[in-house]
Chains A and B, each alone.
Chain A
Amino acid sequence: EVQLLESGGGLVQPGGSLRLSCVASGFTFSSYAMSWVRQAPGKGLEWASGISGSGAGTYYADSVKGRFTISRDNSKNTLYLQMNSLRAEDTAVFFCAKASSGNAFDIWGQGTMVTVSS
């Protein structure tokens, strides 16, 4: 079964850091680009960051550029998101998503909640 499982969310103070993980199973992980998509409480979806299958290419939304770092370990079938200098407005559910060959997100994880508050 194709599956994505996120972990690492939690409560963090403004200015703090957190690292999210997403473990993939059921497909050849290294063959596909991956992304992190977030959703603030009661709000819509926002693409945050993406990475190519090899990990050589990384991409960020302006809202997280310079603060978040996406990476992957293809030997462990795992995607990461290192989040630094967190702000209250980063509070959201973070989903990892697999990109299909046509750049649609065809597989999603269940999400992990990140709360930035003092």
Chain B
Amino acid sequence: SYELTQPPSLSVSPGQTARITCSGDALPKKYAYWYQQKSGQAPVLVIYEDTKRPSGIPERFSGSSSGTMATLTISGAQVGDEADYYCFSSDSSSNLFFGTGTKVTVL
């Protein structure tokens, strides 16, 4: 089964930049998507098609992709950005998968 691998956790101070990686063999040919899930809430889409930001998502959230790795960057992280973050993509056969998830702590 296909795997999208993320670091389990990441900690940054307020105002610093958080970079969350997602590694997958099919990412050179498949888009990555990113979701934010705060405690007790449904996930929210923060980046789609590698780099695009849905309306209402702050500009400090950005995405990039190169080779087998996609990256979500939170520039100037805020305490309110504390959440679990998941990447999402497909394998070469277009089966769909979420990444393993990264818990981001801002303190």
Binding partners A and B: no
